[in-house]
Chain A
Amino acid sequence: MKINRIILGFEKCLIVILFTFMFTVTFAQVIARYFFNTGWAWVPETAVLACITLTYIGASTGVKSGVHIGVDVIVKLLPVRFQRYSDVFADFCGLVLYLFMSYISLQFILYFKKMGQLSIITGFPIWVMICYMPVGFFLMAVHHTESLWERSKAEKLPETRQ
């Protein structure tokens, strides 16, 4: 699936850009304050914003690399066949939750847009600053779908999970 690789590449690219940006502005702020007794009020707000966006991206690529930990104590006691159902169930839960979150965060953004909420320091509309939120949740759902897809293909193979 080519589209998946494009999405993942896009996400990784964004991670690098955001991390670099957060590092540069915050570090520059420290230097400016310590050596030149000055600073910029917009730095914390924009860095936090980048951090929020980074969270949704990292959570999304994390679905693929399996960083979201669960507890498999009880599941491991079950026969292997049931273990696979448990994996499918987990992916399904993720898919449902994140699709739902994607939808409501879109609603939330529209609501903040209507209310005209501005950010505290830069005075920029908040809804613009968090518009990655529904995208991020949607991509998390996409990655769970991918993983369900792969599991369904693996169904034909011998039971692989140890």
Chain B
Amino acid sequence: PAETLAKDKPIIVKIPTLMPKSPPSRAPTSRMLAFFAKQLEANSDGRFKVKIYWGGSLYRDDATCYAALKDNIVQMAIPAGARMAGEMPEVILYSLPFVFEDMEHFRRFAYGPKGFKPVGGPGSKLYEQLFEKNGYKFITFLSTSFQNYVSSKGFLAKPEDFKGVKFRIRQSKLAAEITEAFGGSAMAIPFMEAYTALSLKTVDASECPLYLIFALKWHETGDYITISRHSLLSGTMIANLDWYNGLPEDLKKILNETVEESVEFLFKASTSMEQMMPWIMMSQKPSLQFKWLSQKERGKLKEQVKPLLDKYKKTIPKEYWDAVETTRSK
């Protein structure tokens, strides 16, 4: 009877997200979320019922969203980057510039030596403990790609290139700090006004992964795309701690397996998309120029933001930095 009861009353998983609904959105994270919802219901034989609130229909404001998660109004959430830094300064680490060499480095940090174990890597293990201490369940990292620059004023390869360039940034203290450390000036412009501000040259440049630059049509606003891969567009998946701990063991297992499948799905989707992007963009706009930064150029830029990195070296415990170093390729 217990089992039929469980079947009658599925466990509801409410997930609010700012990402637009998929389809029509081709954004990898949107597609991954839709995939996750479908798989979780299928894998659990309907004992989980997933409800996703797309496009910020439930929460647009992060602080409110995490408060709702803690109150179990929603069961899972997908905080972006350093948004939880108020509670946990350690989360800034994975959004800092030039911390990870490439996606492979980050993959080892997050998921371990092989595959996509949700908390398989030394980094994830540290964050799992940290989040638990703060009353959240850390499910996994959901990182898609590195940020690059699109600009109408020329390539942004050397520190000199950043002088006098106005950057549109999202509302984030860290984004402002990074931009200013490179030598540019930062202006927080709401997402919906970013395209108009870029195309009218209120600002000259902005950062985003390539697929997002394309999806937002920002490549129409400037001719120069610098593949700088300067910082990670990071995301995590978290859950209400009591809700997660209260799940039966078999459902926990199903949830974790589904997360693993979904992360793999996300990686495949975004990697192929990022690689194809330059060619798709150029076929649409022939005047577009790309510049892939060399190791040396990236080194110079990293030198430029060293004071910023040093500042955060002090506020983030050493074991986190060790996890970054041990997963670096030899």
Please determine whether chains A and B interact with each other in the same assembly. Answer: yes
- Cβ-neighbour of B173 out of A33, A116, A117, A123 (below 8 A): A123
Q: Are A122 and B173 in contact (CB under 8 A)?
A: yes
Q: A117 and B185 in contact (CB under 8 A), knowing A122-B173, A126-B63? A: no
**A112 and B164 alpha carbons, distance in the complex (Å):** 38
Check B219 for interface membership: any CB of A closer than 8 A.
Answer: no
Check A118 for interface membership: any CB of B closer than 8 A.
Answer: yes
B177 — nearest CB in chain A belongs to which residue? A41
Which B residues are in CB contact (< 8 Å) with A39? 166, 185-187
Closest-CB distance, A123 to chain B (whole angstroms): 5
Q: Are B185 and A33 in contact (CB under 8 A)?
A: yes
Check A9 for interface membership: any CB of B closer than 8 A.
Answer: no
Report how many residues on chain A are interfacial, defined by Cβ distance under 8 Å: 20
**A126 and B86 alpha carbons, distance in the complex (Å):** 10
Which B residues are in CB contact (< 8 Å) with A33? 166, 185, 187, 202
**A34 and B97 alpha carbons, distance in the complex (Å):** 28
Closest-CB distance, A42 to chain B (whole angstroms): 9
Check A62 for interface membership: any CB of B closer than 8 A.
Answer: no
Q: A117 and B86 in contact (CB under 8 A), knowing A37-B166, A41-B173, A41-B176? A: yes
CB contacts under 8 Å to B, within A98-128, are 111-112, 115-123, 125-126
Closest-CB distance, A146 to chain B (whole angstroms): 33
Check B42 for interface membership: any CB of A closer than 8 A.
Answer: no
- Cβ-neighbour of B172 out of A37, A38, A117, A120 (below 8 A): A120
Closest-CB distance, A12 to chain B (whole angstroms): 30
Question: Residue-by-residue, is B139-182 near A (CB-CB < 8 Å gives 1, otherwise 0)?
Answer: 00000000000000000000000001110010111001000100
> What's the count of A-B pairs with C-beta under 8 Å?
58
A29 — nearest CB in chain B belongs to which residue? B187
Which B residues are in CB contact (< 8 Å) with A125? 86
CB contacts under 8 Å to B, within A25-43, are 33, 37-39, 41
Which A residues are in CB contact (< 8 Å) with B250? none
Check B8 for interface membership: any CB of A closer than 8 A.
Answer: no
Which B residues are in CB contact (< 8 Å) with A120? 62, 83, 171-173
Question: Residue-by-residue, is A51-79 near B (CB-CB < 8 Å gives 1, otherwise 0)?
Answer: 00000000000000000000000000000
Which A residues are in CB contact (< 8 Å) with B249? none
**A44 and B172 alpha carbons, distance in the complex (Å):** 11
Q: Are B188 and A121 in contact (CB under 8 A)?
A: yes
Question: Residue-by-residue, is B25-66 near A (CB-CB < 8 Å gives 1, otherwise 0)?
Answer: 000000000000000000000000000000000000011001
Which A residues are in CB contact (< 8 Å) with B176? 41, 121
Q: Are A38 and B188 in contact (CB under 8 A)?
A: no
- Cβ-neighbour of A118 out of B85, B171, B185, B202 (below 8 A): B85
Q: Could you jot down 5 A-B contacts, CB within 8 Å?
A: A37-B165, A39-B186, A115-B63, A117-B86, A119-B86
Q: With contacts A37-B165, A117-B87, A118-B86 known, what are 19 further pairs, Cβ within 8 A?
A: A33-B185, A37-B166, A37-B185, A38-B185, A41-B186, A41-B187, A44-B171, A44-B188, A115-B63, A115-B67, A116-B87, A117-B66, A117-B86, A120-B83, A120-B173, A121-B172, A121-B173, A121-B176, A123-B86
